[in-house]
């Protein structure tokens, strides 16, 4: 067994180098959108491109093949849940994937996407779909080519989904989404007919610094470790892991409505809590990250919505918040505030959508991606298809493409297919996880109402966070909740919460 041990030690040392490179790229990116002066932009792009290329070269180095030739058979001799076996399997899959994509193709895609993003940035201002159409046509072509390189597949979207939500495929997600849609559309219609809560007091400017002070205490209570993190302002919020000891979050500010930084910060803290609680034993390996996009979103959405938009949470925090913003909220009761921050409204824009309608925004994008990749929808017909689906699912029709098909950066930033499903998967997974927590800790809501989050974070760490990428998402969900993934917990949660809020008795689908 001495040969595998040497190969394993060499592989781990190599992975340390790769981790250092990606940490450095992460820091350059973080700085690029927080504090970098505009004059640094050009050199910064080159620095990031150079380090990314070095990472790619190191990852696909000939030694990797040599180590994996020894280690893949060795991993089969180890117990199934052995950490080294999980690491070897993970690296072998990733290596195979990277090796399948020709260097010329990767360069062509990256060049095309940076041109696309630029054109999209301007087209979005004017709602000019014709300007992006040829770029999207090429992106679609490149997306199909990527699927072919990564194949074989049942559906061309499968390999693209695999890159962000490993283990999931188009058929599985479609089945989940079909079930969810059947439950959601009647719920949205019933709520739309009910009286709308008053939200006028939200449409004010809530001072940024005061919100950040409040959030500092909330995030501390959640268990965010400030010795290993920080909280800064950006245009598009994100969480980023630079190392086990450095997991940062950013937030944005909406001046005329109470949304940001409050809810985006809670959302990003959910991503950061995941990363801060991955086992330190995995540091320096690719297992030291949250388990793909849907699992990650399950954590961020759980902390943002299940906690941060719950009545229990605000029972504890509202008196202080009301005092901090006495001029806006002095006469607003807890229940009025709770109803307002949970208002359900079929709308045109995904990023500001409520908990009930949000998933429908995702399903529209997912279904359009499927049709584009299958070739049953042409890019030229995408805007009409988009508008028709908004009308069918949400009962609203975009008056222009800026408020419609041009609103998201995703199709200008990466392939068409594989990116959007993670958001809705996150809601589905998060609801199932929370039900499992309630079964073990029936008093979890009371703990939240007391500003106590140790049990919640502790359960998540024990069952999900600490494992990093050791298990594939569906395996992790089965282990954590004892059940395969299903949409029923999410439908139960939404029917209960919004049935109470809107005074409706809603039959479960």
Q: Which residues are catalytic?
A: 268
Look up residue 18 and give its two tokens: 């790769």
Instruction: Count the site residues for Zn ion by CB under 5 A.
Output: 1
**Would you say how long the chain is, in residues?**
509
Residues 6+ apart with CB under 8 A from 331: none
Q: Which two tokens stand for residue 486?
A: 């299903």
* Among candidate residues 258, 266, 278, the one with its CA nearest the CA of residue 222: 266
Work out how close the CB of 366 gets to Zn ion at its nearest, in angstroms, rounded to a whole number.
17
291 in helix, strand or coil? Answer: coil
**CA neighbor of 424 nearest in space, from 232, 253, 226, 183:** 183
Half-sphere exposure of 96 (CA within 13 A, CB side): 15
**Residue from 215, 131, 25 nearest 405 by CA:** 131
Site track for Zn ion across 289-318, x = CB under 5 A: -----------x------------------
C-beta neighbour count of 310 within 10 angstroms:
16
From the CB of 250, what's the least distance to Zn ion, in Å?
A: 12
Pick between residue 251 and residue 300 the one whose CB is nearest to Zn ion: 300
Query: Least distance from C-beta 260 to Zn ion, angstroms?
Result: 13
- CB of 24 vs Zn ion, minimal distance in Å: 23
Query: Alpha-carbon distance 457 to 470, whole Å?
Result: 19
The separation between CA 440 and the C-alpha centre of its own chain, rounded to angstroms, equals 26
Rounded Cα distance, 310 and 315, in Å: 9
Are 19 and 285 spatial neighbours (Cβ–Cβ below 8 Å)? yes
Q: Taking a C-beta distance cutoff of 8 angstroms, is the pair 421, 292 a contact?
A: no
CB of 271 to Zn ion, least distance (A): 6
Contact status: 357 vs Zn ion (CB under 5 A):
no
User: What is the nearest approach in angstroms of Zn ion to the Cβ of residue 169?
Assistant: 22
Query: What is d(CA 47, CA 187) in angstroms, rounded to the nearest whole number?
Result: 50
| Vertex 366: Cα angle to 482 and 358 (nearest 5) | 70
Q: Which is nearer to Zn ion, 300 or 387 (CB)?
A: 300
Of 260 and 340, the one with the shorter C-beta distance to Zn ion is: 260
Sign of CA pseudo-dihedral 217, 218, 223, 224: negative
Selection from 347, 413, 409, 365 nearest residue 123 by Cα: 409
**Footprint of Zn ion on residues 405-434 (CB under 5 A)?**
none
Q: Which is nearer to Zn ion, 150 or 215 (CB)?
A: 215
Q: Which residues contact 251 (CB under 8 A, 6 or more apart)?
A: 215, 231, 232, 233, 234, 237, 260, 261, 264, 265, 268
Strand segments, DSSP code E, in 160-293 are 231-233, 239-243, 246-251
C-beta of 295 vs 491, nearer to Zn ion: 295
Q: Among residues 359 and 387, whose Cβ is nearest to Zn ion?
A: 359
Taking the least distance from each CB to Zn ion, the nearer of 295 and 344 is 295
Closest to Zn ion by CB, 240 vs 506, is 240
DSSP β-bridge partners for residue 231: 249
Q: How far is the CB of 423 from Zn ion (least distance, A)?
A: 7
How crowded is the C-beta side of 499, counted as CA atoms within 13 Å?
A: 12
Q: Which two tokens stand for residue 247?
A: 């997991």
Q: Return the number of the residue (269 or 300) whose C-beta is nearest Zn ion.
A: 300
- Rounded to a whole number of angstroms, the minimum distance from the CB of residue 246 to Zn ion is 19
CA dist 63 and 12 (Å) reads 12
The residue number whose beta carbon is nearest to Zn ion equals: 300
> Rounded to the nearest whole angstrom, what is the least distance from the CB of residue 296 to Zn ion in the complex?
7
The answer to whether the beta carbons of residues 294 and 425 sit under 8 Å apart is yes
Binding residues for Zn ion, per CB under 5 A?
A: 300
């Amino acid at each position: 067994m001495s040969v595998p041990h040497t190969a394993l030690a060499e592989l781990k040392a190599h992975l340390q180098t790769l981790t250092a490179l990606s940490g450095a790229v992460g820091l350059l990116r973080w700085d690029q959108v927080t504090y970098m002066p505009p004059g640094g932009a050009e050199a910064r792009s080159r620095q990031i491109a150079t380090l990314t290329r070095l990472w790619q070269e190191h990852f696909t180095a000939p030694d990797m093949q040599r180590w994996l030739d020894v280690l893949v058979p060795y991993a089969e001799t180890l117990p199934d849940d052995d950490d080294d076996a999980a690491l070897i399997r993970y690296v072998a899959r990733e290596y195979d994937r990277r090796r399948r994509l020709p260097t010329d193709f990767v360069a062509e895609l990256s060049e095309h996407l940076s041109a696309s993003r630029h054109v999209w940035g301007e087209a979005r201002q004017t709602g000019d779909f014709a300007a992006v159409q040829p770029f999207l046509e090429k992106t679609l072509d490149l997306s199909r080519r990527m699927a072919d390189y990564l194949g074989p597949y049942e559906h061309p979207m499968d390999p693209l989904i695999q890159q962000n939500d490993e283990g999931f495929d188009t058929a599985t997600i479609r089945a989940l989404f079909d079930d969810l849609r059947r439950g959601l559309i009647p719920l949205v219609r019933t709520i739309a007919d009910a009286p709308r809560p008053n939200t006028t007091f939200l449409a004010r400017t809530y001072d940024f610094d005061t919100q950040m002070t409040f959030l500092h205490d909330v995030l501390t209570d959640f268990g965010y470790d400030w010795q290993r993190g920080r909280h800064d302002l950006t245009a598009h919020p994100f969480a980023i892991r630079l190392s086990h000891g450095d997991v940062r979050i950013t937030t944005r500010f909406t001046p005329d409505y109470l949304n940001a930084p409050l809810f985006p910060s809670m959302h990003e803290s959910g991503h950061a809590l995941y990363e801060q609680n991955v086992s330190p034993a995995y540091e320096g390996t690719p297992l030291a990250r949250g388990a793909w996009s849907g699992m990650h979103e399950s954590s961020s959405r759980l902390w943002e919505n299940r906690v941060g938009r719950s009545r229990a949470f605000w029972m504890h925090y509202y008196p202080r918040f009301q005092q901090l913003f006495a001029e806006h909220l002095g006469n607003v009761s807890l229940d009025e505030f709770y109803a307002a921050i949970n208002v359900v409204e079929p709308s045109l824009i995904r990023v500001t959508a409520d908990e009930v309608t949000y998933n429908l925004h995702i399903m529209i994008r997912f279904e359009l991606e499927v049709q584009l990749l299958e070739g049953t929808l042409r890019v030229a017909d995408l805007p009409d298809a988009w508008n028709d689906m908004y009308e069918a699912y949400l009962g609203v029709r975009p008056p222009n493409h800026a408020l419609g098909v041009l609103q998201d950066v995703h199709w200008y930033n990466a392939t068409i297919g594989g990116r959007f499903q993670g958001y809705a998967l996150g809601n589905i997974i998060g609801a199932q996880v929370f039900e499992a927590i309630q079964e073990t800790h029936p008093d979890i809501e009371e703990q939240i109402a007391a500003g106590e989050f140790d049990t919640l974070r502790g359960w998540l760490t024990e069952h999900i966070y600490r494992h990093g990428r050791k298990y594939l998402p569906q395996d992790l969900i089965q282990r954590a909740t004892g059940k395969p993934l299903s949409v029923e917990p999410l439908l139960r949660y939404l029917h209960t919460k919004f049935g109470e809020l809107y005074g409706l008795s809603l039959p479960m689908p």
